[in-house]
């Protein structure tokens, strides 16, 4: 059975709406990526150096890290030689298989870790403007709809209007926000939030933090302290530290992931703004080199557009048209 079929089987086990969401959200991404891929396959019938070079450019154009692309191309070349693949159409499934491989480390959990009993604490970190507060608002709505009791901690005490932004989300969703004045110590806000969430009997505490560039040593130290304070109050918390990455970010995402991981031991990634033309290929590199799973993707403005990440879905959406074309071929042949 071809890889595409396997992938499709895995995907079709899921509800259609989820697949639809991915498809719609990734429409722009897919149009350009799959379109170019098809175009490439059409122009090159034979697998040769030129073909690989263009493939390399295609992947780099999707912000897949240079190093990861080189690695991928090398693997493909070896594989093509080993299986004696000469026709580009035969290589297509191999490409998507390798891509899915890189995104999907076996035996790994893409779901959010919850506290065995008591309150689950999720800490959101990231550079400025990636969408931390918005993501928290969306996650809060999700939990709320599931019937959880949610509290949000306004830990971004630095940026003007950040506390108000979270409060507005709180009003919209109907969730309590624990806050202090602008400019106060974010670690103190976390302490307050934990106490308050406990007394309210909350199941989920979502902690916002100020955006910070990863090369600001003092700000990264501040973040370490925030985490330490949470840990002191609840030893096994935070149960998740989610790094929010903007899909439009290029190679710098790598440096972000590395540094934030060092400071706060990031347990998962939220990839936002995937509904634009950016392809977020950098998650491949991050996944490949740093081993941090992607847990959520932002596919649009609405709360329900924040979806749990599924590497099969992701790759399936990217390659859908190619797969359908291949299926037709297969039915023709049989």
Tell whether residue 274 is among the known ligand binding residues: yes
Task: State both tokens at 17.
Answer: 């709406």
Tell whether residue 276 is among the known ligand binding residues: no
Site size for another protein, by CB under 8 A?
Answer: 49
Cβ closer to another protein: 67 or 324? 67
Tell whether residue 183 is among the known ligand binding residues: no
- Residue 308 binds another protein, judged by CB under 8 A: no
Tell whether residue 210 is among the known ligand binding residues: yes
Contact 93, 234 (CB under 8 A): no
In Å, what is the CA distance from 325 to each residue of 19, 52, 220?
A: 19, 21, 49
Cβ closer to another protein: 119 or 274? 274
> In the set 8, 26, 34, 65, which binds another protein (CB under 8 A)?
65
Cβ closer to another protein: 50 or 236? 50
| Cα(266)–Cα(244) distance, integer angstroms | 10
Q: Which residues pair with 205 in a beta bridge?
A: 121, 151
Site string for another protein, 158-177 (x = CB under 8 A): xxxxx-xx-xxx--x-----
Contact 93, 2 (CB under 8 A): yes
- Residue 63 binds another protein, judged by CB under 8 A: yes
> In the set 94, 248, 305, 321, which binds another protein (CB under 8 A)?
248
Cα dihedral across residues 220, 224, 229, 233: positive or negative: positive
- Residue 125 binds another protein, judged by CB under 8 A: no
In Å, what is the CA distance from 39 to each residue of 6, 25, 58, 88?
A: 24, 22, 11, 11
- Residue 12 binds another protein, judged by CB under 8 A: no
> In the set 231, 250, 328, 329, which binds another protein (CB under 8 A)?
250
Tell whether residue 212 is among the known ligand binding residues: yes
- Residue 73 binds another protein, judged by CB under 8 A: no
| Cα(214)–Cα(263) distance, integer angstroms | 9
Q: How far is CA 78 from the centre of its chain?
A: 30
Give which of 70, 105, 126 is closest to 253, Cα–Cα. Answer: 126
> In the set 157, 209, 249, 267, which binds another protein (CB under 8 A)?
249
**Residue positions counted in the chain:** 334
The site for another protein (CB under 8 A) is made up of 28, 57, 60-63, 65-67, 127-131, 134, 137, 158-162, 164-165, 167-169, 172, 182, 213-216, 246, 248-255, 273, 275-279, 282, 289
Residues making up the binding site for GTP:
126-133, 208-212, 272-275
């Amino acid at each position: 059975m071809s890889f595409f079929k396997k992938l499709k089987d895995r995907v079709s086990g899921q509800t259609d709406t989820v697949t639809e969401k991915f498809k719609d959200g990734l429409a722009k991404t897919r149009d350009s990526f799959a379109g170019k891929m098809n175009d490439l396959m059409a122009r090159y019938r034979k697998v040769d150096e030129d073909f690989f070079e263009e493939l390399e450019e295609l992947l780099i154009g999707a912000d897949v890290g240079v190093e990861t692309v080189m690695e991928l191309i090398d693997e493909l070349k070896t594989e093509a030689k080993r299986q004696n693949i000469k026709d580009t159409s035969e290589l297509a499934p191999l490409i998507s298989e390798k891509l899915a491989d890189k995104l999907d480390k076996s035996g790994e959990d893409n779901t959010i870790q919850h506290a065995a009993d008591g309150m689950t604490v999720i800490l959101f970190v990231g550079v400025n403007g990636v969408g931390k507060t918005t993501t928290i608002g969306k996650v809060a709505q999700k939990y709320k709809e599931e019937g959880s009791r949610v509290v949000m901690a306004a830990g971004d005490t630095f940026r003007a209007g950040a506390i108000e932004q979270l409060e507005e989300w709180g009003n919209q969703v109907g969730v309590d926000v624990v806050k202090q004045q602008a400019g106060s110590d974010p670690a103190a806000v976390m302490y307050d939030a934990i106490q308050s969430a406990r007394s309210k009997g909350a199941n989920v505490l979502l902690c916002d933090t100020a955006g910070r560039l990863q090369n600001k040593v003092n700000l990264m130290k501040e973040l370490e302290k925030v985490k330490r304070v949470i840990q002191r109050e609840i030893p096994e918390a935070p149960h998740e530290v989610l790094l929010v990455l903007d899909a439009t970010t290029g190679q710098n995402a790598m440096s972000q992931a590395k540094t934030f991981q060092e400071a706060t031991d990031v347990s998962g990634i939220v990839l936002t703004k995937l509904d634009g033309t950016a392809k977020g290929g950098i998650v491949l590199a991050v996944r490949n080199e740093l081993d941090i799973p992607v847990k959520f993707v932002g596919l649009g403005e609405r709360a329900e557009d924040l979806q749990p990440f599924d590497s099969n879905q992701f790759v399936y959406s990217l390659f859908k048209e190619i797969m359908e074309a291949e299926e037709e071929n297969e039915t023709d042949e049989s």
